[in-house]
Amino acid sequence: MNSINNSYIERPRYLCSLGGALSTLEALPETIPVMHCASGCAGSIAWAQNGGSALQVGGHCGGLTVPSSNVGERDVVFGGTDRLTEQLKNTLEIMEGRLYVIITGCVTEIIGDDIRAVAAEFESGDYAIVAANTGGFKGNSYLGYDIVLTSIVNQYVKKAASKKKKSVNILGIVPYMDVFWRGNLKGVRRLLEKLGLEVNTFFTDEDSLDGLKNSSEAELNIVLSDVYGHETAKAYEETHGVPYITATLPIGPTASAELLNAVCGALCLEADVDAIVGAENKRYYRCLELLSDTYNDIDLQKFAVIIGDVNYAVAVTRFLLDDFGWIPVLTQFTDVLDGERQEHIAGKLKAPAPLNGPKVVFDTNASEVVRYINELYPKRESDKYAETIAPAFVIGSSLDRAAALKIGAPHLSVSFPVSNRAVLSRGYTGFDGGLTLIEDLLSAAVAMR
């Protein structure tokens, strides 16, 4: 197993923590981010999003129009809080919002500017100001999502007088880093609404800032990731007493049914999950029925190589194993994960014989994927009839197109960066999301006809 510090630095598959914090805020309704960082940060983040978030970039108060203190050398030497105060004052005058969130970059974090003190100066009943220490060096954009949400949970979310029955919050789907975030959040909502729940997803057009403000009323937080959103869930638990469960991003029937059962169990609901799953499965397989003959006739079953962040690598591999019937041979995780997490996550991809599940590797350098494939299918000159990976399919990010070309396989980008697709409302979660993913996979497989 390789980690980030051996060999070389490849094209990154995430932004810095400031980038993750900014894109998270851009997705929140009625929220204005105020960056406290050097002038290049916003630009770099905007262009990284532009190239990676399936053409979703900017929007109101995002991208290159985000308020930023743009600190210079003088601010570094003497402290940048005066500049931030000025920027915040101007932003409050010009940009209409209800929640303003100060987020820091590396420079202002290193010099230790007291952004909480600046936020406190502007306290008002008309709006709220949150300060989050997101200095880019702290980690990647997934961590930035957690830092900024944790700050909001601790500084903005209201203490609930009582719990609201059957109300849940969804965490772990990181806006823009998951380019299908809108669709995925909506898919999860539709799914859980079948249990009669009120589902708070924070970021979609059906959500409101009040939903976030009152989110401590929830009975349960559901973290749809093995890594992302956990810190936020812990903050909810410690500050507001909201417990949480963790589940895989539910793509397709099996994972969706598992989620329904897990949530039903955690909330001690009396819902008939079997009936719900039965009805959904019926719908799902009625759709899929149309495909089944062709699937066999024109050889649409593939050996799959999956390369992605922890959410997609787990969810897509499980979907192929449990529902779709493709054979995952290799799953490569591109996150930086410690040994304990690696072991836990690798354990989720096991399957009974003869499939046994894919070879699992943890390597941030996805260009290594071809080497791993060659290890699985060793070639010797004397092997006249060598086993090869065919027909194959690569599911990863746009960066993995090259590997797909090398092994002569079609390719679909689902994990960040996605630069060869335009995504607005599409999503892969729930029963319907499984069908959407099948459409996309097979469309890519037959695209050259």
Binding stretches for another protein (CB under 8 A): 73-81, 110-114
Q: From the CB of 77, what's the least distance to another protein, in Å?
A: 4
Residues 395 and 308 sit within 8 Å (Cβ to Cβ): yes
The residue among 49 and 87 lying less far from another protein, judged by its C-beta, is: 87
Angstrom distance (rounded) from CA 257 to CA 433: 13
Shorter beta-carbon distance to another protein: residue 109 or 432: 109
> Which of 112, 339 has the CB closer to another protein?
112
Rounded to whole angstroms, the Cα distance separating 325 from 301 reads 7
- Residue 296 is encoded by which pair of tokens? 């066999």
The least CB distance from residue 73 to another protein, in Å, is 6
317: CB partners within 8 A, 6+ apart: 304, 306, 328, 331, 349, 357, 358
Nearer to another protein among residue 112 and residue 408 (C-beta):
112
CB closer to another protein out of 112 and 278:
112
- 349, 344, 16, 130: CA torsion to nearest 10: 120
CA 350 to chain centre: 23
Report whether 346 contacts 335 (CB < 8 A).
no
Residue placing its CB nearer to another protein in the complex, 77 or 268: 77
Q: Which residue, 76 or 355, has its beta carbon nearer to another protein?
A: 76
In the complex, minimum distance from the CB of residue 74 to another protein, in angstroms, rounded to a whole number:
6
Q: Which is nearer to another protein, 118 or 307 (CB)?
A: 118
Pairwise CA distance, residues 144 & 18, whole Å: 6
Q: Which two three-digit tokens encode residue 291?
A: 């495909």
CA–CA distance from 366 to each of 7, 10, 142, 431 (Å)?
12, 8, 18, 30
Distance CA 75, CA 190 (A): 48
Query: Minimum distance from CB of 132 to another protein (Å)?
Result: 20
425: phi then psi, degrees, rounded to nearest 5: -120, 0
Q: How far is the CB of 112 from another protein (least distance, A)?
A: 8
Shortest Å distance, C-beta 109 to another protein: 11
Closest separation in Å from C-beta 257 to another protein = 55
- Minimum distance of another protein from residue 76's CB (angstroms): 5
Cα separation, 383 vs 381, whole angstroms:
5
Closest CA to 215 of 194, 232, 236, 231: 236
